């Protein structure tokens, strides 16, 4: 149930009746009419723009039409008051009983309050993280992981059947370099003096334990077999080892995937899906041999014109065509990715989303092009970008460099500040804007730090329910009992503000899902927590406003219903964000 959509029904019913009775032309188009929550004071609780939209279509003044509609709306028991204001806004105040019903509904729906059928059970494929398995996760991966995971939570909450996938880049040159590096570490673990890790390989210390693990498994045997065979073993082992670490790293951030899809598998088991995708594009007449133009704005010391196999992505809005084969005949990364996306399409999802880091912005149009080409433009495919995170400590930028192997490991960060603050903080910004992340500030337990503020509201609600149990040992604080309370007793202004805030949740969820913006949930929870803290604090000055009234069990039960509903909605929102909802703060 959603109050504003109920009002929308009321308004459109009134207008339809006016059309039927001849007050309005029968062919009048109702497009553009909206119900929104009022913002300022003395503007009712909701407003409609109906009169202003319709007036110009039938050549009358908005205020006259507004009064006309208002008079008919007033007759509805659902609505307590209707006013016409400004250029022709219809301001609507709904009946108290509507708000009471809402609280009862929340308590009845429990964890399902705010769910919707928006997704209609459609199968949705979401790819996120997909970091190269050449090292442990670091903070750069963190945002995409949290955003992708939360988006999946959100979209399954509104009724999509979500499949969460990690594309494992376990083929290609970087894996070769990883293998070379780990082989050196292996020799090191056997006691060789290896000196510096050569330029171009992976210099970080994390490869040492992989070398040691290989010694534990093979002793010195790999040293004596053919180098190519040894490297092949080492590569596979290293990828498996690092994937396991990545898996663990993600788990401690509460991030999960259903499928880890191997890039290498595209050309295994007697099939070459890369060749297949190129053949398919060939049949569509989208492949040719040619040379790419020299890019502008770059000073290349060496520029060679090379003929290679190109895909006509420029037919689909890309700037230039893109290479599928290198001049030496190998597949490009993009060719593998094209095959991967064909594979996705063959698995027949209804919609696709890819969450990519900001460094892949230039990649979007080519992958969208190939999706359009392969599906004949008949697919819903969104690419969402997570922008850079600047890691700070006490206002100072933490320098990171891939080359020297210095970066903040995800695991270390979780150990230092905890999963909840990281997730919440990452979601306090829109995904496509850059974000400063201060390791020092994020552990501060202050209002500066919204995660504690929201969690505290949940803990406070829990605490009040516990306390009520002490004062009134006989009453039940279970949601299933509280909705029978006499909710009409919730009539002071702070309680109304809080109730209205609770009413917004389904709408916030739906718009967050529709626009793929989970940060809206985080902001909403902050506001809800604020309304709750405020109401609690009013009890400091005015004891009659406290939730627990020792001499009035009936009133107490009504107020506990509001507390329980608040607790429920906060818990529900935090669940979507993948953040815990503590029953007490220590």
Partner RNA sequence: GUCUCUGUAGCUCAGAAGGAUAGAGCACUGGAUUCCUAAUCCAGGGGUCGCAGGUUCGAAUCCUGCCAGAGACACCA
Of 116-124, 338-346, 444-452, 566-574, which segment contacts RNA by CB under 7 A?
A: 444-452
Identity of the residue, 202 or 456, whose beta carbon is nearer to RNA in the bound complex? 456
- Is residue 445 part of the contact set for RNA (CB under 7 A)? yes
- Is residue 348 part of the contact set for RNA (CB under 7 A)? no
The structure tokens listed for 528 are: 């809800």
Task: Tell me how far apart the alpha carbons of residues 557 and 83 are, in angstroms, rounded to a whole number.
Answer: 34
Q: Give the shortest CB-402-to-RNA separation in angstroms.
A: 11
Chain positions 184 to 243 lying near RNA, rule: CB under 7 A, are: none
Site string for RNA, 297-316 (x = CB under 7 A): xx-x-xxx-x-x--------
Options 506, 520, 521, 581; binder of RNA; rule CB under 7 A: 520
Neighbours of 87 (CB within 10 A): 13
Q: Please give the full DSSP string across 125-185, using - where no structure is assigned.
A: EEE-----TTS--BHHHHHHHHHHHHHHHHHHHTT-EEEEEEEE--SSHHHHHHHHHHHHH
Identity of the residue, 338 or 342, whose beta carbon is nearer to RNA in the bound complex? 338
Phi and psi, residue 394, nearest 5°: 55, 40
Q: Give the shortest CB-392-to-RNA separation in angstroms.
A: 11
Task: Tell me how far apart the alpha carbons of residues 571 and 61 are, in angstroms, rounded to a whole number.
Answer: 47
- Is residue 49 part of the contact set for RNA (CB under 7 A)? yes
Chain positions 492 to 511 lying near RNA, rule: CB under 7 A, are: 507, 511
Q: Give the shortest CB-225-to-RNA separation in angstroms.
A: 25
Identity of the residue, 215 or 373, whose beta carbon is nearer to RNA in the bound complex? 373
Options 397, 486, 543, 552; binder of RNA; rule CB under 7 A: 543
- Is residue 261 part of the contact set for RNA (CB under 7 A)? no
Options 122, 264, 546, 575; binder of RNA; rule CB under 7 A: 546
Q: CB under 8 Å to 540, separation ≥6 — which residues?
A: none
For β-strands 46-48 and 35-37, DSSP reports them as antiparallel
- Is residue 433 part of the contact set for RNA (CB under 7 A)? yes
- Is residue 30 part of the contact set for RNA (CB under 7 A)? no
Give the total residue count for the chain.
586
Site string for RNA, 353-392 (x = CB under 7 A): -----xxxxxx-x---------------------xx----
Task: Tell me how far apart the alpha carbons of residues 89 and 42 are, in angstroms, rounded to a whole number.
Answer: 12
Strand positions, DSSP E, 398-460: 435-438
Of 227-235, 236-244, 339-347, 458-466, which segment contacts RNA by CB under 7 A?
A: 458-466
Chain positions 104 to 163 lying near RNA, rule: CB under 7 A, are: 132
Of 183-191, 225-233, 247-255, 332-340, which segment contacts RNA by CB under 7 A?
A: 332-340
Identity of the residue, 222 or 459, whose beta carbon is nearer to RNA in the bound complex? 459
Of 17-25, 271-279, 324-332, 478-486, which segment contacts RNA by CB under 7 A?
A: 324-332
Q: Please give the full DSSP string across 356-407, using - where no structure is assigned.
A: EEGGGGGGHHHHHHHHHHHHTT--EEEEEEEPPEEEEETTEEPP-BTTTTB-
Look at the alpha carbons of 26, 31, 32, 38 in this order and tell me if their dihedral is positive or negative.
positive
User: b or e along 91-117 (b: 16 or more beta carbons within 10 Å of the residue's beta carbon)?
Assistant: bbbbeeebbbbbbbbbbebeeebbbbe
- Is residue 340 part of the contact set for RNA (CB under 7 A)? no
- Is residue 469 part of the contact set for RNA (CB under 7 A)? no
What is the total count of residues that contact RNA (CB under 7 A)?
107
Chain positions 54 to 73 lying near RNA, rule: CB under 7 A, are: 56, 62
Task: Tell me how far apart the alpha carbons of residues 437 and 173 are, in angstroms, rounded to a whole number.
Answer: 32
- Is residue 521 part of the contact set for RNA (CB under 7 A)? no
The structure tokens listed for 206 are: 């994390």
Options 17, 240, 294, 440; binder of RNA; rule CB under 7 A: 294
Chain positions 562 to 581 lying near RNA, rule: CB under 7 A, are: none
Beta carbons of 363 and 336 less than 8 angstroms apart: no
Options 436, 469, 472, 571; binder of RNA; rule CB under 7 A: 436
Q: Please give the full DSSP string across 473-497, using - where no structure is assigned.
A: TTS---HHHHTTS-GGG--SHHHHH
């Amino acid at each position: 149930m959603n109050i504003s959509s109920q009002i929308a029904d009321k308004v459109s019913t009134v207008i339809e009746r006016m059309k039927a009775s001849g007050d309005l032309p029968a062919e009048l188009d109702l497009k553009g009419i909206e119900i929104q929550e009022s913002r300022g004071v003395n503007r009712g609780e909701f407003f409609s723009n109906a009169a202003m939209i319709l007036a110009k279509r039938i050549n009358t003044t908005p205020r006259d039409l507004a009064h006309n509609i208002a008079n008919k709306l007033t007759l509805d028991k659902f609505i307590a008051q209707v006013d016409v204001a400004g250029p022709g806004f219809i301001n609507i105040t709904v009946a108290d009983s509507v708000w009471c019903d809402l609280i009862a509904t929340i308590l009845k729906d429990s964890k399902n309050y705010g769910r919707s059928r928006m997704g209609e059970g459609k199968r949705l494929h979401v790819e996120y993280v997909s970091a190269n398995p050449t090292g442990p996760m670091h903070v750069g991966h963190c945002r995409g992981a949290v955003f992708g995971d939360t988006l999946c939570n959100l979209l399954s909450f509104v009724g999509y059947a979500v499949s969460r996938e990690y594309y494992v880049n376990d083929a290609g040159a970087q894996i070769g370099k990883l293998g070379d590096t780990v082989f050196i570490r292996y020799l090191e673990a056997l006691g060789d003096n290896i000196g510096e890790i050569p330029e171009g390989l992976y210099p970080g210390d994390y490869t040492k334990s992989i070398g040691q693990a290989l010694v534990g498994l093979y002793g010195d045997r790999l040293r004596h077999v053919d180098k190519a065979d040894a490297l092949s073993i080492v590569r596979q082992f290293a990828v498996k080892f690092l994937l396991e670490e990545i898996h663990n790293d993600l788990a401690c951030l509460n991030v999960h995937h259903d499928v880890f899809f191997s890039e290498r598998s595209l050309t295994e088991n007697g099939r070459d899906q890369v060749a297949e995708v190129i053949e398919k594009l060939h049949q569509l007449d989208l492949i040719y041999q040619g040379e790419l133009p020299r890019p502008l704005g770059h000073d290349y010391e060496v520029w060679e014109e090379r003929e290679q196999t190109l895909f006509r992505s420029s037919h689909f809005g890309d700037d230039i065509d893109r290479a599928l084969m290198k001049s030496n005949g190998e597949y490009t990364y993009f060719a593998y990715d094209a095959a991967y996306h064909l594979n996705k399409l063959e698995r027949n999802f209804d919609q696709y989303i890819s969450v990519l880091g900001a460094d892949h912005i230039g990649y979007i149009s080519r992958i969208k092009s190939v999706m359009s080409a392969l599906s004949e433009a008949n697919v819903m495919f969104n690419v969402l970008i997570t922008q850079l995170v600047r890691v700070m400590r006490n206002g100072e930028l933490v320098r990171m460099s891939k080359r020297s192997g210095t970066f903040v490991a995800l695991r270390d960060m979780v150990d230092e500040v905890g999963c909840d603050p990281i997730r919440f903080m990452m979601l306090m910004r829109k995904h496509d804007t850059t974000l400063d992340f201060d390791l020092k500030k994020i552990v501060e337990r202050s209002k500066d730090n919204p995660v504690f503020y929201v969690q505290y509201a949940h803990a406070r609600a829990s605490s009040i329910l516990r306390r009520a149990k002490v004062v009134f040992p006989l009453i039940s604080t279970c949601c299933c009992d509280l909705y029978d309370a006499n909710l009409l007793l919730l009539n002071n202004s702070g309680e109304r503000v809080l109730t209205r805030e609770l009413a917004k949740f389904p709408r916030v969820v739906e718009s967050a899902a529709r626009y793929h913006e989970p940060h809206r949930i985080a902001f909403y929870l902050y506001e809800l927590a604020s309304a709750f803290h405020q109401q609690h604090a009013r009890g400091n000055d005015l004891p009659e406003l406290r939730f627990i009234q020792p001499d009035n069990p009936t009133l107490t039960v009504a107020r506990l219903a509001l507390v329980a509903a608040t607790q429920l909605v906060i818990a529900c929102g935090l669940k979507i964000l993948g953040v815990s909802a503590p029953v007490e703060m220590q």
